[in-house]
Amino acid sequence: MTLVQQCLIAMGGNSPFDGGGPEKTLSDALVQLRREGAEITAVSRYFRTPAFPAGAGPDFVNAAAVLRVAGSAEEVLALLHRVEAAFGRSRAVRWGQRTLDLDLIAIGAQILPDLAGFEAWHGLAPEAQQRHAPDRLILPHPRLQDRAFVLVPLADVAPDWVHPVLGRSVRQLLEDLPQAARDEVKAL
């Protein structure tokens, strides 16, 4: 029997695809996720966020969703990557412009690959984060607590989800961020 798990995903994009803007791409990606077997139980409002690092491209449109998906964490990640590819996602530049970005933020209270692996990536210095990408899935996402563009939409759909390592809810993690960071994420 395959386990159906609750998954938190962050969605974003800042490049057009097939003649449509990022809002259309995000909406179409949700349709494609359903076609691929994901049950979507909640979707946040859409938000506009400046590209990072500053000047790296047009503003992003961000959202979050709660999915129920059958399969392992790696199978869920493969599903997200298939949907990204269907919408022209290219991984040429880390943190660069993209048509669609679907990030697996968390699956329930799972910690992957293990606590030590999570802590190594969670503690990585900011300058090293841009140069290095993990060679395996790290859950919860190790930068979740630092990113208003993830936490603001996530607070719409899963404010009470508690980070299994940090012991803080999405709502608390968002409140921990500076007000200026929260203010950069504007509802559309």
Average pLDDT over residues 133-137: 82
- Above 90 in pLDDT, residue 155? yes
Closest CA to 99 of 36, 23, 10, 45: 23
Alpha helices in 15-68 (DSSP H): 22-35
Predicted pLDDT at 128: 75
> pLDDT higher for 4 or 110?
110
Q: Is 12 helix (H, G, I), strand (E, B) or coil?
A: strand
Average pLDDT over residues 125-154: 87
The C-alpha atoms of residue 52 and residue 74 are separated, in whole angstroms, by: 27
Query: Domain-by-domain residue ranges, the chain?
Result: 4-187
Tell me which amino acid residue 122 is: H
Angle at 159 between CA 54 and CA 95, to 5 degrees: 25
Answer whether 76's CB lies under 8 Å from 69's CB: yes
Q: Provide the residue count of the chain.
A: 188
- Domain covering 4-187 assigned CATH 3.30.465.10 in the classification: no
Predicted pLDDT at 92: 58
Angle at 137 between CA 135 and CA 138, to 5 degrees: 110
Structure tokens at 144: 């979740």
**For 51-84, how does the pLDDT look when each residue is reduced to its tens digit (9 = 90+)?**
877 777 899 999 999 999 999 999 999 999 999 9
> pLDDT higher for 21 or 134?
21
pTM of the predicted model as reported, rounded to 2 decimal places: 0.92
